[in-house]
Amino acid sequence: MTTAEPILYNPFEPGYFDDPYSQFARLRELDPVHATLDGNWMLFRYDDCFRVLRDPSLSVDDRNIRQSRKAEQLEALRVEDRGEPSMLGLDPPDHDRLRRLVSKAFTPRSIEALRPRVQVLVDRALDRVEPDGHIDLVGDLAFPLPFQVISEMLGMPEADMLQVRDWSNQMVKTLDPVISDDEIRASMAASLAMQDYLGGVISWKRENPADDMLTALIHAEEDGDRLTTTELMSQVALLFIAGHETTVNLIGNGTRALLRHRDQWDALVAEPALIMHGIDELLRFDPPVQISRRIALADMEIDGRRIEAGTFMATVLASANRDPAKWGPTADRLDLNRADAGQHLSFGSGVHYCLGSSLAKLEGQVAIGTFVRRFPHATLDDVPARWNGRINLRGLDALPITLR
C-alpha cells in the first residue's frame, strides 16, 4: 500500500473481530490522527492517546460535542431527557465529587479484602463444570463472576441475570463508534427498562439498608448536597454495568489468548504466581475496552492536524497498546514477563482512570490463575470464535474449552 491510497477506519472489514490489530497497525502508520467520515477523530498512537487522555483542558461531557453524526443520530432518536451523566461523562469538579463518594470501596486495600470471596466463587463455578470435562468459559465463569461480585458489593437483590445481561448488552452498543438507528432504539428501550429496574432496586434498598455501596449512595442522596436522585441513578447504573461488562472480556479474551499462545500458558502452569504480573500483559494484548474518548473544548492541533472545538476524539486504547514506538518490535507478541506491561492504556489515564481497575485485575487473576492451575491440559474447542459483535467492548459470547 502507498501513502496515496485513502485509508479509512472500517470496523466492518471482514475479519475485523478476529483481528482488529492489523487494521490499527495500518492506520497507526499511515494516518495516526484520523478523521472519520462522520466528523470524529481517532487517535491510534500511544503518545497521542496518553497525552489526550490526561489533558485537563479536554472534556468527557457529551453535551459538548458538535458536528458528529453519531451525536446527532443519538439526539434525534432520544426518547426522553437524558438525566444526569455519570462520573464517566462529567468533568471536574462534578466528576470529582461523584468519584469521591464511591472511591473508598475501590482502594487497592478494600479490593484485596475481597480476594477470598472471589476465590470461593471461582472454585464453585469450576467445581460445577469439572464433571462434564467441558466449559463455556464465558457463560460459566467470565460473565457470572464479575456480575455476582459487583452485585454483592452494591448490595443488589438476587437479579434475573439473563434479563439484566440482555439490557446492558443493548445499552453498551452506544459506546461503539458506528451504530445503526435500530441499535440506538433498542439501546434506549433497554436503558429505560434498566432505569425502571434500578429504580425498583433503590426503593427496595431504602427499606432494606445494609453495609453496602447502594446504601452508602442512598445516604449521600438523602444528604442532598452530595448527590441528586438522578445522579444516584446514573452512578448505580455505571458501577453495575462497568462492573461486569468489561471484566467478562478480560477473563474471556485473556484465557483465549493464553490457549492460543501455548508457551505462555505453559509458563503459567509452571509458575502460577506469574498471573499476578501477567494480568497486565493480558490487558495490554487484547483489551476489554478498545476505545475511550475526550472532547475538544477549544480548537487544538495534534500532529499538525487541526481539531475544532466540539470535536469527539476516540482514543484507540487497543492500538496504543500495540504501538511499536512504545513497546518496540515485540509489541504484537504476548509475553507475560514483559516488564513494562503495566503501562498499557486499557484502563484509560488521567482523572477518569478506571475506578474498578484493582477489582478487575483481582477477578482476572483469580479466575484465570485458578483455571490454569486446575486444568493445565485444557484446549480450545476447534470452532470459530463467537464474538459479541461489539466494536468497543469487544469480547466473546462463548468460549468452549475441553478441560482435559
State the residues that interact with ligand HEM by CB under 6 A: 53, 87-88, 99, 150, 238-239, 242-243, 246-247, 250, 287-289, 292, 346-350, 352-356, 359-360
Comparison of 126 and 317: residue with beta carbon closer to ligand HEM: 317
CA 210 – CA 202 distance, rounded (Å): 12
Minimum distance of ligand HEM from residue 131's CB (angstroms): 30
Minimum distance of ligand HEM from residue 351's CB (angstroms): 6
The conformational region for residue 286 under phi > 0 = left, psi -120 to 50 = alpha, else beta, is beta
Q: 105 is written with which cell numbers?
A: 470501596
Minimum distance of ligand HEM from residue 17's CB (angstroms): 18
Q: 173 is written with which cell numbers?
A: 452498543
Comparison of 102 and 403: residue with beta carbon closer to ligand HEM: 102
CA 308 – CA 300 distance, rounded (Å): 6
Minimum distance of ligand HEM from residue 229's CB (angstroms): 19
Comparison of 268 and 282: residue with beta carbon closer to ligand HEM: 282
Minimum distance of ligand HEM from residue 53's CB (angstroms): 5
Comparison of 32 and 356: residue with beta carbon closer to ligand HEM: 356
Instruction: Quickly tell me which residue has 495516526 as its cell.
Output: 32
Comparison of 214 and 242: residue with beta carbon closer to ligand HEM: 242
Reduced to 3 states, what is the DSSP secondary structure of residue 192?
Answer: helix
CA 188 – CA 22 distance, rounded (Å): 33
Minimum distance of ligand HEM from residue 246's CB (angstroms): 3
Minimum distance of ligand HEM from residue 194's CB (angstroms): 16
CA 109 – CA 103 distance, rounded (Å): 12
Minimum distance of ligand HEM from residue 70's CB (angstroms): 17
CA 335 – CA 267 distance, rounded (Å): 10
| CA 370 from centroid of its chain's CA atoms | 22
Report whether 282 contacts 372 (CB < 8 A). no
Cα dihedral 258, 259, 260, 262 sign? positive
Peptide bond into 93 cis (omega under 30): yes
Do the strands 305-307 and 396-398 form a parallel or antiparallel pair, or are they unpaired?
Answer: unpaired
Reduced to 3 states, what is the DSSP secondary structure of residue 258?
Answer: helix
- Name every residue whose Cβ is closer than 8 Å to that of residue 163 and which is 6 or more positions away in sequence: none
Amino acid present at 120: V
Amino acid present at 242: A
Instruction: Quickly tell me which residue has 477473563 as its cell.
Output: 251
CA 158 – CA 175 distance, rounded (Å): 27
Minimum distance of ligand HEM from residue 95's CB (angstroms): 6
Q: 302 is written with which cell numbers?
A: 495534534
The conformational region for residue 107 under phi > 0 = left, psi -120 to 50 = alpha, else beta, is beta
Comparison of 184 and 282: residue with beta carbon closer to ligand HEM: 282
Comparison of 318 and 403: residue with beta carbon closer to ligand HEM: 318
Comparison of 240 and 403: residue with beta carbon closer to ligand HEM: 240
Minimum distance of ligand HEM from residue 363's CB (angstroms): 7
